[in-house]
């Protein structure tokens, strides 16, 4: 376990947290600097920096837990919806290098916007590029 990883510290019980779920592979706790009341983080118990490095069983466990908890989180704070998101890599704004799924409660009329509001403009991609990227993804590992 990396000594400076705060989430490994929480999982090891060395850093306090408001834990809302735990099993053999997964833990969930409240974000300490929440974007909204009830903002929850779901993490694999084993340290993985990036989503692409997680074994399939762990990915299943983490995302199944996020799916199950999203309803409970929303109910707990009387939210109208949730944004479920991962900042995967520093380029995407990931600050803690231990994979975590954010569950952010959303309220009608809040100022959060959709994931699309992360960008001021859309990428301009031709049909040929869409085709070529789709093939690269399909044929990739
Ligand atoms: P990200 O930018 O996706 O890496 O988000 C990291 C999140 O972890 C931020 O929303 C922080 O508020 C949250 N965070 C950092 N340290 C802790 C901690 N000790 N307990 C709970 N949440 C934390
Ligand atoms: Zn860690």
Ligand 1 lined by 49 (C-beta under 6 Å): no
| Residue 10 Cα: closest atom of ligand 1 | 19
CA distance 125 to 41: 33
52: which 2 tokens?
């692409």
Query: pTM value?
Result: 0.95
Domain count, the chain: 1
- The alpha carbon dihedral of 32, 33, 39, 42 has a sign of negative
Ligand 1 lined by 17 (C-beta under 6 Å): yes
Helix (H) or strand (E) holding 59: helix 56-77
What is the predicted pLDDT for the residue at 69?
Answer: 97
Q: Residue 54: inside a domain, yes or no?
A: yes
In which domain, by residue range, is 47 found? 6-138
pLDDT in tens, 54-78: 999 999 999 999 999 999 999 999 9
**In the annotation, is 100 catalytic?**
yes
Q: Report how far apart, in Å, the C-alpha atoms of 128 and of each of 23, 62, 122, 124 are.
A: 46, 35, 17, 12
pLDDT in tens, 79-116: 999 999 999 999 999 999 999 999 999 999 999 999 99
CATH classification of the domain holding 66: 3.30.428.10
70: which 2 tokens?
């999203």
Q: Residue 38: inside a domain, yes or no?
A: yes
110: which 2 tokens?
């809040």
Q: Where does the pLDDT of residue 1 fall: very low under 50, low under 70, confident under 90, or very high at 90 and above?
A: low
Q: Residue 1: inside a domain, yes or no?
A: no
CB 65 within 8 A of CB 93: no
What is the predicted pLDDT for the residue at 2?
Answer: 76
Q: Residue 126: inside a domain, yes or no?
A: yes
Distance 31 CA to ligand 1 centre (A): 6
């Amino acid at each position: 376990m990396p000594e400076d990883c705060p989430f490994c510290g929480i999982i090891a019980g060395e850093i306090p947290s408001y834990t809302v779920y735990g099993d053999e592979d997964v833990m969930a706790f409240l974000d300490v600097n929440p974007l909204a009341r009830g903002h929850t983080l779901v993490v694999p118990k084993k340290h993985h920096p990036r989503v692409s490095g997680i074994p399939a069983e762990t990915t299943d466990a983490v995302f199944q837990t996020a799916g199950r908890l999203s309803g409970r989180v929303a109910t707990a704070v009387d939210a109208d919806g949730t944004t479920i998101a991962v900042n995967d890599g520093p380029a995407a704004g990931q600050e803690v290098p231990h994979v975590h799924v954010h569950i952010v409660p959303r309220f009608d009329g809040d100022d959060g916007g959709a994931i699309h509001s992360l960008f001021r403009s859309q990428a301009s991609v031709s049909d040929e590029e869409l085709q070529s990227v789709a093939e690269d993804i399909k044929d990739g590992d």
